Homo-oligomer: A and B are copies of this chain.
């Protein structure tokens, strides 16, 4: 998503050129290019698929909408397995229209995980619940903190369900470092994503994630926190930013790699 202006072949070529060893993919461009075709493309380039984004949206009250969401999540698991990644990121979903009950919505996610987690395991895929910033609690994701995400994940085995830690969503939370330690101790940090916090936020607050180093988040501290918790997996940079999307994608990818080295890697 950081460079969604690139086609998949362009993205794969640019990663190879820059020495980026892995890439997190989103379902929509993968489906458009073809799942098997994408799998072949990344395999031939020697590029790892770090995660597939995203499953989830499991909070519907309507039985038909709920069944459709579960079916779609099974397809997402299938796609992850076909792409050769072991991790499917889940964005839980917001409140159904007219509902004001966050707690009940979180329980419906737990119910859905009970159906999806064994299916995912059969396909060699782990589910990674991503808490989203509390500003998305109403319309996108009722799971707002790592604490809530882990409380859900820990109802299942760690090889079935863990969490995604994204600095953009957790940086404000003084409990997040302890929760990262908890997640690491349980083997439940299934994905680690970086994005910076810049202001003012744009209308709709979706596409204002800052380039690494441009904002308020201490990237080295959060990366160190995950590593201290035992995390040794890939680190993704996931930026939703209209300004970055308007630029040349290869240039943005190069800048992102440079920023990652400058702001997240120890000197």
A interface residues, Cβ below 8 angstroms from B: 95, 99-103, 133-135, 137-139, 144-145, 148, 171-174, 197, 199-205, 215-218, 221
| 9 further interface pairs, Cβ-Cβ under 8 Å (given A137-B216, A148-B174) | A103-B174, A133-B135, A134-B134, A134-B135, A138-B199, A144-B173, A200-B203, A200-B204, A201-B203
The CA of A101 and the CA of B221, in the complex, are separated in Å by: 10
The CA of A135 and the CA of B169, in the complex, are separated in Å by: 10
3 pairs of A and B residues whose beta carbons are closest in the complex = A137-B172, A134-B172, A138-B216
Q: Which of B148, B173, B217, B221 contacts A134 (CB 8 A)?
A: B173
Name the distance in Å between A95's Cβ and chain B's nearest Cβ. 6
| Main secondary structure on A side of the interface with B | loop
Name the distance in Å between A180's Cβ and chain B's nearest Cβ. 15
**A201-B205 in contact given A102-B174, A135-B134 (Cβ < 8 Å):** yes
Name the distance in Å between A169's Cβ and chain B's nearest Cβ. 9
Q: Which residues of B contact A100 (CB under 8 A)?
A: 216-218, 221
Name the distance in Å between A110's Cβ and chain B's nearest Cβ. 14
Q: Which residues of B contact A144 (CB under 8 A)?
A: 172-173
Nearest B-chain residue to A134, judged by Cβ: B172
Q: Which residues of B contact A215 (CB under 8 A)?
A: 138
The CA of A3 and the CA of B69, in the complex, are separated in Å by: 43
The CA of A103 and the CA of B134, in the complex, are separated in Å by: 19
Q: Which residues of B contact A173 (CB under 8 A)?
A: 134, 144
Q: Which residues of B contact A221 (CB under 8 A)?
A: 100
